[in-house]
Chain A
């Protein structure tokens, strides 16, 4: 079984709809991240969480919200989806300390907003 899972893997939705992307991990890591990837751009950080009570905005958090329900679960919500949120979304967890932290990515969720 995969250590970091994401559901759904693919999603098509309409403008204005609320959707939730879920991420679960069995690695026991405290740190979790949400990124989006667009063609021709590097991964961009949306939100990150160091533990259940610690949630922080990344560089492109507008239009998104998150929930850290447990150490193992970190959900990303689009309250009112818009077409430019069409992208590939990755969840990641992190291990290690300081500057040698390693991030492990889930398989991604491909989202299309019509």
Chain B
């Protein structure tokens, strides 16, 4: 089983739609969770950290379910510029920040 698993997509949605991605992780000792965004042929960039209580940043909402070991990302009112690959990232161990990256979920927002 992969340490971090994501549906690769692509998710094809029209502008204005709401879309949700899920990610599961295998290491129950993981303490930190993130969503990164990666545009084609570009570097990953931090989109948001994911906190136990859930957190929101504008149109983006992240949730963590420790019991089921999954993380979700909800994007409301999708924009064309949201088209990218979204990487679920989990730290593998406490202390040292060894990040484990999912393979990413590709989102395509169309007019």
A99-B104 contact, Cβ under 8 Å, with A105-B45, A108-B42: no
The stretch from B14-22, B66-74, B89-97 touching chain A is: B89-97
Q: Mark B36-79, 1 if CB is under 8 A from A, else 0.
A: 00000111111001000000000000000000000000000000
Are B45 and A99 in contact (CB-based, < 8 A)? no
What's the tally of chain A residues with a CB closer than 8 Å to chain B?
23
Are A101 and B42 in contact (CB-based, < 8 A)? no
The size bracket of the interface on B is 20 to 34
The minimal Cβ–Cβ distance linking A34 to chain B, given in whole angstroms, is 13
List of B residues within 8 angstroms of A45 by Cβ: 98-99
- Beyond A43-B99, A43-B101, A45-B99, 8 additional pairs, beta carbon < 8 A: A48-B98, A58-B98, A88-B41, A90-B43, A98-B95, A99-B31, A99-B32, A100-B49
A-side interface residues toward B, CB under 8 Å?
31, 40-43, 45, 48, 58, 88, 90, 94, 98-108, 110
B-side interface residues toward A, CB under 8 Å?
4, 8, 31-32, 41-46, 49, 87, 91, 94-95, 97-104
